[in-house]
A and B are shown apart, each in its own frame.
Chain A
Amino acid sequence: MNFTASKQPENCLLGPESDSQRTLYPYVTGTSVVALKYKDGILMAADMGGSYGSTLRYKSVERMKPIGKHSLLGASGEISDFQEILKYLDELILYDNMWDDGNSLGPKEVHNYLTRVMYNRRNKFNPLWNSLVLGGVKKGEKYLGTVSMIGVNFEDNHVATGFGNHLARPILRQEWHENLSFEDGVKLLEKCMRVLLYRDRSAINKLQIAKITEEGMTISPPYSLKTYWEFAAFENPTQGAVGSW
Chain B
Amino acid sequence: MFRNQYDTDVTTWSPAGRLFQVEYAMEAVKQGSAAIGLRSKTHVVLGCVNKANSELSSHQKKIFKVDDHIGVAIAGLTADGRVLSRYMRNECINYSFTYESPLPVGRLVVQLADKAQVCTQRSWKRPYGVGLLVAGLDESGAHLYYNCPSGNYFEYQAFAIGSRSQAAKTYLERRFESFRDASRDDLVKDALMAIRETLQGETLKSLVCTVAVVGVGEPFHILDQGTVQQMIDAFEIVAEQEGPAAEPDTEAGQEASAEPEPEQGAAAGEGVAPMDI
Contact = CB atoms under 8 A, between A and B. Distances in A.
B3 interface: no
B98 A116 contact: yes
A103 B98 contact: no
A99 B107 contact: yes
B101 A109 contact: yes
A99 B107 CA distance: 8
Interface string A92-114: 00000001011111101100110
Contacts of A113: 98-99
B99 A103 contact: no
Contacts of A103: 104, 106-107, 138-140
Which of A99, A101, A108, A113 is packed against the most chain B CB atoms within 10 Å?
A: A101
B270 interface: no
A105 B102 CA distance: 11
B100 A108 contact: yes
Nearest to B99: A109
Residues of B in contact with A, size category:
10 to 19
Select the residue from A102, A103, A109, A116 with max chain B CB neighbours within 10 A: A103
Interface residues of A, number: 12
Interface string A123-137: 000000000000000
B101 A112 contact: yes
A214 to B, nearest CB: 15
Nearest to B106: A101
B99 A102 contact: no
B104 A105 contact: no
A99 B138 CA distance: 14
Interface string B93-105: 0000111110010
A147 B104 CA distance: 25
A117 B53 CA distance: 50
A101 B107 CA distance: 8
Interface in B162-221: none
Contacts of B101: 106, 108-109, 112
Nearest to B105: A103
A85 to B, nearest CB: 15
A105 B97 CA distance: 14
Interface in A191-234: none
A11 to B, nearest CB: 33
Contacts of B107: 99, 101, 103
B98 A112 contact: yes
24 contacts: A99-B107, A99-B110, A101-B104, A101-B106, A101-B107, A102-B106, A102-B139, A103-B104, A103-B106, A103-B138, A103-B140, A104-B139, A105-B99, A108-B99, A108-B100, A109-B99, A109-B100, A109-B101, A112-B98, A112-B99, A112-B100, A113-B98, A113-B99, A116-B98
A-B CB proximity, top 8 nearest: A109-B99, A103-B104, A112-B100, A109-B101, A102-B140, A101-B106, A103-B139, A112-B99
